[in-house]
Amino acid sequence: MIIVDRISEMQALMRQCRREGKTIGFVPTMGYLHEGHAALIDRAREENDMVVVSIFVNPLQFGPNEDFARYPRDFARDRHIAEQRGVDVLFHPEAGEMYPGPLTVQAVVKARTDVLCGRSRPGHFDGVATVLIKLFHIVMPDRAYFGMKDAQQVAVVDGLIRDFNFPIELVPVPTVREADGLAKSSRNVYLSSQERKEAPALYQALQAAAAAVEEGERSGDALRRLVKEHIEAHTHAEIDYVEVCSYPDLTPLETLHGTVLVAVAVRFTSARLIDNVILRLPEAPRQEE
Provide the annotated binding site for beta-alanine. Answer: 61
Stretch touching a copy of itself by CB under 8 A, among 65-73, 136-144, 185-193, 203-211: 136-144
Query: Quick one: which H or E segment has residue 64?
Result: none
Stretch touching a copy of itself by CB under 8 A, among 18-26, 48-56, 57-65, 172-180: 18-26
Q: Any catalytic annotation for residue 257? A: no
If one asks whether residue 49 binds a copy of itself (CB under 8 A), the answer comes out as no
> Among residues 79, 57, 96, which one has the least CA distance to residue 2?
79
Binding residues: 30-37, 61, 147-150, 153, 176, 184-187
Query: Could you tell me how far CA 131 lies from the centroid of its own chain?
Result: 14
Footprint (CB under 8 A) of a copy of itself, residues 104-133: 104-112, 129, 133
Q: Which residues pair with 170 in a beta bridge?
A: 144
Residue 60 has phi, psi (to 5 degrees) of: -65, -20
- Nearer to a copy of itself by Cβ, of 84 and 259: the residue is 259
3-class SS of residue 177: strand
**Which residues lie closer than 8 Å to 183 by C-beta, 6 or more apart?**
149, 175, 176, 177, 202, 203, 273, 274, 275
3-class SS of residue 170: strand
If one asks whether residue 137 binds a copy of itself (CB under 8 A), the answer comes out as yes
One-letter amino acid at 205 equals A
| 106 vs 103: CA distance, rounded Å | 7
- Nearer to a copy of itself by Cβ, of 20 and 67: the residue is 20
Instruction: Determine which residue in the list 3, 6, 9, 18 makes contact with a copy of itself, applying CB under 8 A.
Output: 18
CB 220 within 8 Å of CB 244: yes
- Nearer to a copy of itself by Cβ, of 93 and 200: the residue is 93
If one asks whether residue 284 binds a copy of itself (CB under 8 A), the answer comes out as no
Residue 125 has phi, psi (to 5 degrees) of: -75, -20
Stretch touching a copy of itself by CB under 8 A, among 17-25, 45-53, 209-217, 265-273: 17-25
Stretch touching a copy of itself by CB under 8 A, among 16-24, 115-123, 234-242, 272-280: 16-24
Contacts with a copy of itself, 138-167, as mask; x by CB under 8 A: x-x---------------x--xx-xxxxxx
* Shortest reach from residue 216's CB to a copy of itself, in Å: 31
Q: Do you find a cis peptide bond into 248, omega within 30 degrees of 0?
A: yes
- Nearer to a copy of itself by Cβ, of 33 and 250: the residue is 250
**Which residues lie closer than 8 Å to 77 by C-beta, 6 or more apart?**
32, 33
Binding-site ranges for a copy of itself (CB under 8 A): 7, 11, 15, 18-19, 21, 102-112, 129, 133-134, 137-138, 140, 156, 159-160, 162-167
Catalytic site positions: 37
